[in-house]
A and B are shown apart, each in its own frame.
Chain A
Amino acid sequence: MQIKPILAAMRRHKAGTILIGFQIALTLAIVCNALFIIHERMARVSRSSGVNESNLFVITNEWAGNLSDPQTAAQIQADLDALRRLGSVEDATAMNSFPLHGSGWDNFIRMKPDQVHMTTDTSIYMSDDHTLDTLGVKLIAGRNFTPNEIQAFPIQEMKSWPVIIVSKDLAKLLFPNGDALGKQIYAANNNTPSTIIGITDTLQSHMMDNDDNAYAYNALLVPMRELGNGYVQYLIRARPGLLGAAMRDAPKALIAQSRMRIFEAKDGVMTFAQVRAKAYERDYGMAILMGIVSAVLLAITAAGIVGLTSFWVGQRRRQIGVRRALGATQGDILSYFMTENMLIGLGGIVVGTLLALGINLWMVTHYGVAHLSGSYLLVAAIALLALGQGAVFAPALRAARVPPIEATRPA
């Protein structure tokens, strides 16, 4: 295959060549970054929470009226007893927040009382002795809380957390040697240490912002009921197959205990699947948007290549006829146009790669996106080349069918 005649011909049709090349370059740059963003978001969405999400649901219970703190604590205990007695419920617990919730407490961890800057940040879960069973999280070392370790007071009265349970990832961060059990850390925002009595398997934090990705699996369980904040989250595990029944029975049982509570109509009672969907709504949306943009962009580029190449073929009918008359086969003509498109495509991809890296660098500095990996560029480049070849096939076929008699026809 002779490349030089193709290049010579392209030099005479600079405008069309540049237009197609530039379009391919821009499309590569945008589609590459769009696909990368989709990948990043999907990776976030597929993170495991560490919780056994089937059969788990959450009731956000807001207190109406004015219960004193001791009354609230007693009410919570009575509520939990009532919930655990239900036939459709396996276990229930009261917490202030939970994985994927999006808001809640987080604290810096310090290893020494006078330490100035944090070792790491972690989410804090106010929990009780039934929390691990309700969430379906395994203890891989140490022990669970005992019922008499559970304290109940408002945050302002809090003095210390003598015993805590940490997640496996937090334990590894704090004690890389793997000897976290029994050690003391400073997690309560004051100078009293807490002893780690248990380590759980993977447990996700409630923090969902992109900025908190580094702390996504730092979780710290404190045996405490938070009072005075006006609400409590009841996490309830239904018996297998009885999720619907449990979601009906639980609110009724709570209201039977006391009417002075409010469940919001919209989000008051949510299955954990709904919690997960709500937590990752934005990510799915962004991925869908990027997908649509990429698809439409590729379609437009393909259509543009088809249109422009058809026009070119029309302009060069006489030349094609001359070549055919001189002995070129249909295959020769076809491969001429395909090769020409491949060369333009390669040129466009080179420029597009530079553009894609440039855009990615700019996004890294301004939007904290990760660096583009080479495999994306490669995949997108190959896809675009294939697209270009596919788009040019029909016009090239039409060019190949130009009969040699065109050579004899006047221009």
Chain B
Amino acid sequence: MLAYYLRLGLHSLRRNPLLTALMVLAIGVGVATSMTTYAVFRAVSANPLPDKSSRLFVPQIDPWGPQARLDGSDVPDALTYTDAMALMRDRKGARQTAIYPISHTLIPDDVSREPFHVSGYAAYADFFPMFEAPFVYGSGWDRGQDDAHAAVVVISSQLNRQLFGGASSLGRTLRLDDHDYQVVGVMADWNPRPRFYDVNNDDAFNDPPDFILPFTHAVDTHTDTDGNNNCRGTSGRDPGWDGWLRSGCAWVSFWVELPDSAAVAAYRSYLQGYAAEQTRAGRFHWPSNTALFNLTQWLRHEQVVPPATRMSLLLSLGFFLVCLVNTVGLLLAKFMRRAGEIGVRRALGASRREIWLQFLVEAAMVGVAGGVAGLLFTGVGMSSIGLAFDPDIARLAHMSAGLIGLTLLCALVATVAAAFYPTWRAAHVQPAWQLKSN
């Protein structure tokens, strides 16, 4: 029977090609816009480290007190240098690292090559195991080298390819501005999206870092931060590098790994205790105000999903809804026009269920055609999402087998759902009325 219904459906769709084309196009466009915006939304809101996100945390300590927030601003999303160093010293988490973004000019050994700009991060040894950074050669440095303020560096595989042709560069020297660093590791292509460890500096989706070197050494060489330096709540600071380190400016990101809920609770009370101690010592003049965010909470707090993405997704869904309402109307017109034919079938013995099946099959055919059209339009859509979204974010959305399958499924299910009312009307056509002879 199915083959018969497919033939019937095809015949009917061909009888009125304009109407069919309109339905297919409407569904295609609706599905395409929804899938495109959904692809971007999913790429942007994905959990970058699903197996570890519940164990990675960001501590927040209020360095300026409630007075600095009278204009409605938040507690800063970075720590002051003093607080970050205290947390590193106490080492209350299983692993922890302070991070800040830096950039240098790399001066190649080969004098015929021009110096060029490289950007990366200053971090502690725990950075690599905490975030499960993969390595091609070597590994990160160890805590001893942190304490020794060693001049070592881990580089990206892209930089390794650029400088050393992709071969193992372990032990070789890199000159960044006026300091030499020894390469101890080359990371594999690693760019979690969003770059959760640096979302507070607005760089969540762009190119991965070229290098990572020890925080202690970066501070020794007076390397300024490339990220935000938030001195909002401070009332001035002493001049000079040390003055800046001592000041209340918030510029250090901090991540801590806590393996279980007991550790989380312990760390929370440690943070409160630390802040209370600062109040007692006279550095803070307010009751302790601390918070601990896990990775997903932090991404939400930092609003990593740009509002435009969410708004576009909802707009597309509204658009799809209009297309579906349109389809309901057109299918109704299409089916009811054939009331005579339905009457004949019913009179010849077809049950209501069989009429249902016939018209749902026809709707499914329209749905599949709409899905294919939707795929074509989605292809167009993908290439033009650079219009409305950041190019970094637009790059993330691409056609995958899953997306293709989802597009076709969506079109099919939506069309069949839209066809329920028209099919119900068709199935309840009274044979007697249609068969009244002239």
CA distance A363 to B239 in the complex (A): 45
Are A300 and B19 in contact, CB atoms less than 8 angstroms apart?
A: no
**Separation in Å of the A157 CB from the closest CB of chain B?**
5
Q: Which residue of A lies closest to B437 (CB)?
A: A410
Q: Can you name 8 A-B residue pairings with CB atoms under 8 Å?
A: A65-B115, A116-B67, A188-B236, A300-B26, A307-B329, A311-B333, A366-B307, A367-B307
CA distance A117 to B322 in the complex (A): 49
Q: Which residue of B lies closest to A33 (CB)?
A: B315
Are B107 and A65 in contact, CB atoms less than 8 angstroms apart?
A: yes
Given contacts A156-B240, A308-B332, contact A66 B177 (CB under 8 A): yes
When distances are taken between beta carbons in the complex, the residues of chain B under 8 Å from A64 are: 105, 107, 114-115
* Chain B CB within 10 Å, residue with most, of A23, A296, A301, A307: A307
Given contacts A23-B329, A64-B105, A410-B438, 20 further A-B pairs with CB under 8 A are A27-B322, A30-B322, A64-B114, A64-B115, A65-B107, A116-B70, A189-B237, A190-B236, A230-B103, A230-B105, A284-B387, A285-B389, A289-B312, A296-B319, A300-B323, A301-B322, A301-B326, A304-B326, A310-B333, A315-B336
Are A157 and B105 in contact, CB atoms less than 8 angstroms apart?
A: no
When distances are taken between beta carbons in the complex, the residues of chain A under 8 Å from B390 are: 282
When distances are taken between beta carbons in the complex, the residues of chain B under 8 Å from A228 are: 224
Are B315 and A157 in contact, CB atoms less than 8 angstroms apart?
A: no
Interface assignment of A393: CB less than 8 Å from any CB of chain B? no
Within 23-67 of A, Cβ neighbours of B (below 8 Å) are at 23, 26-27, 29-30, 34, 62-66
Are A108 and B232 in contact, CB atoms less than 8 angstroms apart?
A: yes
Given contacts A15-B425, A19-B329, contact A30 B318 (CB under 8 A): yes
Q: Which residue of A lies closest to B18 (CB)?
A: A307
Are A191 and B236 in contact, CB atoms less than 8 angstroms apart?
A: yes
Interface assignment of A319: CB less than 8 Å from any CB of chain B? no
When distances are taken between beta carbons in the complex, the residues of chain A under 8 Å from B234 are: 189
When distances are taken between beta carbons in the complex, the residues of chain B under 8 Å from A293 are: 33, 315, 319
Are A304 and B239 in contact, CB atoms less than 8 angstroms apart?
A: no
Q: Which residue of B lies closest to A284 (CB)?
A: B387
CA distance A22 to B386 in the complex (A): 33
Interface assignment of A8: CB less than 8 Å from any CB of chain B? no
CA distance A311 to B338 in the complex (A): 11
Interface assignment of B94: CB less than 8 Å from any CB of chain A? no
Given contacts A156-B239, A189-B231, A190-B236, contact A117 B115 (CB under 8 A): no
Number of B interface residues, CB 8 Å?
A: 59
Interface residues of B (CB under 8 A from A): 19, 22, 26, 29, 33, 67-68, 70-71, 103, 105, 107, 114-117, 177-178, 224, 231-232, 234-237, 239-241, 243-244, 307-308, 311-312, 315, 318-319, 321-323, 325-326, 328-330, 332-334, 336-337, 386-390, 421, 425, 436, 438
Are A26 and B322 in contact, CB atoms less than 8 angstroms apart?
A: yes
Contact of A23 among B177, B236, B322 (CB under 8 A): B322
CA distance A125 to B239 in the complex (A): 20
When distances are taken between beta carbons in the complex, the residues of chain B under 8 Å from A150 are: none
CA distance A260 to B114 in the complex (A): 9
Are B325 and A23 in contact, CB atoms less than 8 angstroms apart?
A: yes
Q: Which residue of A lies closest to B106 (CB)?
A: A64
**Which label, helix, strand, loop or mixed, suits the secondary structure of the A interface?**
helix
When distances are taken between beta carbons in the complex, the residues of chain B under 8 Å from A117 are: 67-68, 70-71
Contact of B322 among A34, A300, A410 (CB under 8 A): A300
When distances are taken between beta carbons in the complex, the residues of chain B under 8 Å from A310 are: 333
When distances are taken between beta carbons in the complex, the residues of chain B under 8 Å from A289 are: 312, 387-388
When distances are taken between beta carbons in the complex, the residues of chain B under 8 Å from A108 are: 232
Are A307 and B425 in contact, CB atoms less than 8 angstroms apart?
A: no
Are B319 and A262 in contact, CB atoms less than 8 angstroms apart?
A: no
Are A304 and B29 in contact, CB atoms less than 8 angstroms apart?
A: no
**Separation in Å of the B195 CB from the closest CB of chain A?**
18
Are B387 and A288 in contact, CB atoms less than 8 angstroms apart?
A: yes
When distances are taken between beta carbons in the complex, the residues of chain B under 8 Å from A260 are: 115
Interface assignment of A303: CB less than 8 Å from any CB of chain B? yes
Are B107 and A308 in contact, CB atoms less than 8 angstroms apart?
A: no
When distances are taken between beta carbons in the complex, the residues of chain A under 8 Å from B178 are: 65-66
Are B243 and A156 in contact, CB atoms less than 8 angstroms apart?
A: yes
Are A262 and B333 in contact, CB atoms less than 8 angstroms apart?
A: no
Q: Which residue of A lies closest to B239 (CB)?
A: A157
**Separation in Å of the A225 CB from the closest CB of chain B?**
16
Interface assignment of A95: CB less than 8 Å from any CB of chain B? no
CA distance A229 to B33 in the complex (A): 44
CA distance A310 to B329 in the complex (A): 11
CA distance A169 to B436 in the complex (A): 82
Contact of B308 among A19, A23, A66, A282 (CB under 8 A): A282
**Separation in Å of the B429 CB from the closest CB of chain A?**
13
Are B308 and A303 in contact, CB atoms less than 8 angstroms apart?
A: no
Are B318 and A26 in contact, CB atoms less than 8 angstroms apart?
A: yes
Interface assignment of A314: CB less than 8 Å from any CB of chain B? yes
CA distance A284 to B389 in the complex (A): 11
When distances are taken between beta carbons in the complex, the residues of chain B under 8 Å from A230 are: 103, 105, 224
**Separation in Å of the B5 CB from the closest CB of chain A?**
22
**Separation in Å of the B387 CB from the closest CB of chain A?**
4
Contact of B319 among A19, A297, A303 (CB under 8 A): A297
**Separation in Å of the A65 CB from the closest CB of chain B?**
7
Are B332 and A190 in contact, CB atoms less than 8 angstroms apart?
A: no
CA distance A10 to B319 in the complex (A): 27
Are A65 and B105 in contact, CB atoms less than 8 angstroms apart?
A: yes
When distances are taken between beta carbons in the complex, the residues of chain B under 8 Å from A189 are: 231, 234-237
Are A311 and B332 in contact, CB atoms less than 8 angstroms apart?
A: yes
Q: Which residue of A lies closest to B234 (CB)?
A: A189
Q: Which residue of A lies closest to B325 (CB)?
A: A23
CA distance A284 to B421 in the complex (A): 41
Q: Which residue of A lies closest to B433 (CB)?
A: A411
Interface assignment of A20: CB less than 8 Å from any CB of chain B? yes
When distances are taken between beta carbons in the complex, the residues of chain A under 8 Å from B322 are: 23, 26-27, 30, 297, 300-301
**Separation in Å of the A315 CB from the closest CB of chain B?**
7
When distances are taken between beta carbons in the complex, the residues of chain A under 8 Å from B328 are: 19
**Separation in Å of the A22 CB from the closest CB of chain B?**
6
CA distance A288 to B381 in the complex (A): 13
Within 130-149 of A, Cβ neighbours of B (below 8 Å) are at none
Are A307 and B117 in contact, CB atoms less than 8 angstroms apart?
A: no
Are A262 and B421 in contact, CB atoms less than 8 angstroms apart?
A: no
Are A303 and B22 in contact, CB atoms less than 8 angstroms apart?
A: yes
When distances are taken between beta carbons in the complex, the residues of chain A under 8 Å from B103 are: 230
CA distance A235 to B227 in the complex (A): 24
Are B332 and A262 in contact, CB atoms less than 8 angstroms apart?
A: no
Are A159 and B239 in contact, CB atoms less than 8 angstroms apart?
A: yes
Q: Which residue of A lies closest to B179 (CB)?
A: A66
When distances are taken between beta carbons in the complex, the residues of chain B under 8 Å from A296 are: 29, 319
CA distance A301 to B323 in the complex (A): 8
When distances are taken between beta carbons in the complex, the residues of chain B under 8 Å from A66 are: 177-178
